[in-house]
Structure 1
Amino acid sequence: MAYSSLAQEPLISSESLEKILSSLATRADNFERSLPDFIAKETLTQETIEQKDNKVLEHNITVSRLTGRQLEITKKGQPQLDFQEIRQVQTINGKVVKVDRFKSRGPQVDGVFSSILLSHFASLDQQDYNFSLDTKLHNYRNRPSYLVKFTSRLKVNERQYYFFEGKRLASQQEGQAWVDVETLAPLHIEYVEKNLPKNIQAIVYSVDYAAVELGEESFLLPIEATSEIQEKKFINRVYQQYSDYKKFSTDVKLE
């Protein structure tokens, strides 16, 4: 990962943290309402590794055309936005596949487009974490960055949850985010789950964000995401790349 600490230290205070969190909350709260429908190329690399000798047991690369849409739904009588991801699988390990015969399997990073950003930094969700600001300025992807650290306030918090193999679990996290000094946009969010399922030794997630042009406007969207799930004998690693973003319209050709 391309980050380091800068030698020159700026004046960083509690007011700096408040300013950063306020900016992140505004960005997260407006994210879903502002994002248009889009298409992108998703390259999904999945590996299963044997813990004992670090031997790769399985390695698959799936390339898909992904369509992202914001749907307005009604939940408990209230209108809500629901982000939907639709995938058209194009190739698996370089071979063209028939979409109607494909079933995705293995772990993936869920929530990279909105949920991970919102569940940490939306105004209503920030109350679920304790935040602190590193006293040094850092560098991430050649951008001067603040390092914001966070931990879950409660050991059991039903507001924050995740799914593992179809089972809903309360989320208890410890992580950090690199935030661009100039724009106060998140560049990278990473965290570990502390409330683990049975027989799982570690779960680690990360997402990289960048400004992406959709039409005439720029939006904060993921460009990479990773996860690592450690079992007693095996490690499952996932690496997702997103590229070729385009604003969806009837003129866009799906290749």
Structure 2
Amino acid sequence: MTPLRRSLALRAIAALAVSAVVAQCAPAQAESVVKLPAAVTDPAVKAKRATAVLAGGCFWGVEGVFSNVKGVISVESGYHGGSAATAKYERTHDGKSGHAEAVRIVYDPSQVSYGTLLRILFSVVADPTLKNRQGPDTGSQYRAAIVPMDANQRQVANAYLAQIGRGKYFAKPIVVPVEVYKRFYRAEASHQDFMRRNPRNGYILRWDAPKLAALKRLYPDKVRATPAP
């Protein structure tokens, strides 16, 4: 069985298993929920719009959470780290493409800062102590990563990783890389807005819906009234 078929088969099995019991069980808990402090280094940005590229495991849930963050204008799922030739779902699942499943976030810096996006990423979306895996998914394509778009974002990223590392909010060392931006490739249409379009999907119910619930519980003042496109 190819890595792609194995990955899809495991996700399908997990979805079926969760769907079979979800009606009888209490809501699942997010794998890692830690209410982290605000970024100490987080200078104001005067631009009306800014872009962030972040990775935190399967892009379904990453997109689903950030589309509900106040100040976010749009979110799209895609691939970052590899070439155009391998920027396809079926080409990323051997872990050799260099790509991570990532999201590109367009946001209003006057409403939500870059540091706040990182705070949310590591509070409710991704466990920063896991290398090349998140939740049930393994492989470098599921790595958590920060991809700064400019020097200011890089400064905030490095400072925040150091800040939460010093604070010992996690039992294990933080292993999130701060990567050099190459090019973001938009994922296939079937992956865009997946969480919003498939709220009863077994994978979403088990792994991603709890992340959104955690966002609303921990940071209610950061939640949009309606999701961003």
Identify the TM-score tier after normalising by the shorter chain.
under 0.3
Q: Larger Cα Rg: Structure 1 or Structure 2?
A: 1
Specify which structure has the higher proportion of helix: 2
- State the structure with bigger RCO (CA 8 A, min sep 6), 1 or 2: 2
Normalising by structure 2, report the TM-score: 0.27
Specify which structure has the higher proportion of strand: 1
